[in-house]
Amino acid sequence: MKNTLQNHIDKEIPFLKQKKLLLAVSGGLDSMVLLDLFLELEYDITIAHCNFQLRGVESFGDQKFIQDYAEAHAIPIFVTQFDTEAFSKDYKLSTQVAARELRYNWFYELLDTEKFDFILTAHHADDNLETFLINLTRGTGLEGLTGIPEQNDKIIRPLLFSSRLEIENYAKQHNIQWREDSSNASDKYLRNKIRHHLIPVLKELNPNLITSFLKTESYLQESLAMVEDAAVMVYQQVASEEGDTIHFDLNQLLKLPNYRSYLYQWLKEFGFTAWNDIYDLVDSQSGKQVFAVDFRLLKDRDFLILSPIIHSETQKEFFVNENQTEVKIPLNISFSKVTDISVATNKTIFVDADQLVYPLLLRNWKTGDVFMPFGMDGRSKKVSKLFKDEKLSLIEKENTWLLCSNDQIVWIVGMRADHRFRTTNATQNILKIDLI
């Protein structure tokens, strides 16, 4: 098995060589075999052990077992203890999810503070099969059927090619000691039910189940790669990016017979889950939205517009003092005193500096805002009416900034200046304001 692992590393994950590796070791069969193999292959390894304190004395027995092993083999080790049950209760998570979150948060903390290159876990082919079956019973797409990835960011699972039986045989042949987790015998968890009851039946039907499964996984991964390639090609025809906003052209999208699949591929990474609502959005009236935690999808005439949600705590007001010549946040705007006026544009205005009251204020538009558009001889107009005339989407409205003086709008930045701050023949000090 050692040679098989080395050949697999050479072919599939050669970047592990000469790297500083953190091995997640529970003390169970799989992780102890992983530890032995990488020790035998003379990689630069360090042990990380989590005591979740879920099995009383048994949990502390696992911890001592690992610490003794590390000391006997002169392997560096990090150990931590978690009050997993309290964390689970505080954050309303299942015990398994809580343990996973605590474990990987700590691993990544070690990765950062101790400068490890990769985290290695002992997942194997049987774990992958169990995950496949769990996802299958819950309902899943192609991604859910491709199982556990060998690499996910800095996490590497080098034993996915091996079965549990092969790992157990290696342990017995090399007299490797391990700790049995008593919770593995319980049918409390879905994974254990599948492991104890379903997989033995499948193996009875097909003694080469794991080999067949690994072939199936390979085919599914190839299919997924093809789907992802197609999604990238079609994206270039349908989507246009403007800063952190993406516009999907519905006229182009609806030409595709399977447009829902493409929407799923493009939007899944943004945290959306209400897929039927997203698919219905295509035929909805303008203004309808679907939300994820940090993003939203808006129907605006012939487009679906994806944008980040600006949470209220991130919305701020920005002040401009009298002697400032520029601001960088939230927009790049310059202020300069000039002696004459050139052509004004949407991005350049000239105002009577003596009419300004400092500090000026940059803020977002609010419902009820009123201004006096330049050129309308002092007649007022609601900012919302201007937005409607300009056919701005909701997202564009929310991203519009107002430059204000003493609660009066000087400029709807990038759009219209206010009549009250115009220059006249009597103006003595002219201020030029540029949106860069």
- On whether the CB atoms of residues 361 and 319 are closer than 8 A, the answer is yes
Paired with 352 in beta bridges are 430
How are beta strands 416-417 and 326-327 bridged, if at all? Answer: unpaired
- The Cα–Cα gap between 218 and 210 comes to 12
Longest dimension (CA), the chain: 98
How far is CA 340 from its chain centroid? Answer: 51
- Phi, psi (degrees; rounded to nearest 5) at 53: 55, 40
Q: Give the residue ranges of the annotated binding site.
A: 26-31
Comparing CA positions, the residue from 59, 99, 97 lying closest to residue 180 is: 59
Q: Give the residue ranges of the annotated binding site for ATP.
A: 26-31
- On whether the CB atoms of residues 249 and 271 are closer than 8 A, the answer is no
Paired with 47 in beta bridges are 23, 77
- The Cα–Cα gap between 22 and 26 comes to 13
| Cβ count within 10 A of residue 203 | 15
